[in-house]
């Protein structure tokens, strides 16, 4: 995804660090939610717990990850403050 979307985002004025943070949150959310969710399905298979029980338990965490993703996406200062303070971003 990165080779395709990074140039597009940079042309739109997004910092590459910001793009990386958003990409990580999106990918982590995608690996733990159905219908793909390989981590969710693997964990359920190994533990012997039904997917329905796990999803009911993890629903608050899904919501938190989604809210943080939206905040980081639409308020760049949240994720860019520390890299700017460390001098990692010009």
Domain-located, residue 44: yes
Distances (CA, A) of 53 to 6, 30, 70, 78, 79: 37, 19, 26, 33, 33
Domain-located, residue 45: yes
Question: Which two structure tokens, joined as six digits, stand for 88?
Answer: 């990692």
**Cα(19)–Cα(31) distance, integer angstroms:** 18
Report how many domains make up the chain.
Answer: 1
Reported confidence tier of residue 89, pLDDT bands at 50, 70, 90: confident
| Angle CA 81–77–60, to nearest 5 | 105
Which pLDDT tens digit goes with each residue over 10-58?
999 999 999 999 999 998 888 888 888 888 899 999 999 999 999 899 8
Is pLDDT above 80 for 1? no
User: In which domain, by residue range, is 50 found?
Assistant: 2-85
| 8 A C-beta contact, residue 40 and residue 32 | yes
Domain-located, residue 90: no
| 8 A C-beta contact, residue 44 and residue 50 | yes
For range 70-78, the mean pLDDT? 93
- Would you say the pTM of this structure is higher than 0.85? no
């Amino acid at each position: 995804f990165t080779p395709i979307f990074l140039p597009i985002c940079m042309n739109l004025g997004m910092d590459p660090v910001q793009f990386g943070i958003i990409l990580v949150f999106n990918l982590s959310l995608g690996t733990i939610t159905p219908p793909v969710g390989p981590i969710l399905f693997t964990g359920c298979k190994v533990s012997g717990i039904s997917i329905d029980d796990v999803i009911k338990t993890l629903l608050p965490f899904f919501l938190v990850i989604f809210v943080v993703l939206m905040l980081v996406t639409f308020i760049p200062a949240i994720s860019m403050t520390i890299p700017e303070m460390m001098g990692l971003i010009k």
